[in-house]
Amino acid sequence: MTKPSEKPMDEMVPIFFMGKRYEVPASLTIQKALEYAGYQHIRGCGCRGGVCGACGTVYRTPDSYKLQVGLACQTVVQPGMHLMILPYYPSNRAVFNIEEMRGTGGELAELYPEIFKCIGCNACTMGCPMDIDVMHYMAQAIRGDVKGVAETSFDCIMCGLCASRCPAEEVQFNVAILARRLNARYRVPRAEHLRKRVEQVREGLFEEPLRDLMGKSTEELKKMYSSRETEPQMAEDDWTPQDARYV
């Protein structure tokens, strides 16, 4: 039996970052592998959970001629891969004042006329790390379906990897965020509870509690946090497949 101190080391594989070779454990994600190699992520680190889109990565592997994309926090290293992290993917972004718009599908076409260059190749969808049907919402944009684009692209994390694969040079993710903003501004009903809470904030209802918190010591804040009211933990036997969405 192997003792904890005698565990075999993880298999090491070579990767190439900006042309330089590094030996890293085969089980690591690209992001962790680069930290293992000695890099400190000043930019491109993000949330580390596949949500923020700040660690878009372009890479090639020896067994394929194809250029591949993924998120550095999700993609596991492969032997001999050549890679580069793109904290921001360059793209044209339309300038607009949403208060002066009408929320129509024609405004999507007016601000991003290149949507009509889409050739339906589906490269954008294949490059999306969130498994969004990008080509579908671009077709919705062409039809002027603002609500459809907003709903189909809801999980977009703005990493830009869809645009990196597009032969028509479109900026799908910017079209998507515009549609979501237009939909929220002109189609989604206003939340009454939010309106009331904003009024309470403006009336200064929370000023005194905030001042009280700011005056407490670190130990007092830790004690308040530890004794806060929390929801009871659900027993494992009571779980349903739907509950997994909230974990």
Residue 228 contacts residue 221 (beta carbons within 8 Å): no
Tokens for 109, please give them: 């076409």
Residues 6+ apart with CB under 8 A from 45: 31, 54, 55
The pLDDT-based confidence of 7 (bands split at 50, 70, 90) is very low
Q: What is the pLDDT of residues 31-89, one digit of tens each?
A: 999 999 999 877 657 888 888 888 999 999 999 998 999 999 999 999 999 999 888 88
**CA-closest candidate to residue 115, choices 160, 151, 166:** 166
Radius of gyration of the chain (CA): 24
- For residue 176, count other CB atoms closer than 10 A to its CB: 26
Q: Where in the chain is the domain with CATH 3.10.20.30?
A: 10-86
Q: Residue 50 has what pLDDT? A: 86
Residue 112 has pLDDT above 90, yes or no: yes
The CATH number given to 10-86 is 3.10.20.30
Q: What is the pLDDT of residues 161-208, one digit of tens each?
A: 999 989 999 999 999 999 999 999 999 988 899 999 999 999 999 999
Q: Model's pTM, two decimal places?
A: 0.73
The pLDDT-based confidence of 247 (bands split at 50, 70, 90) is very low
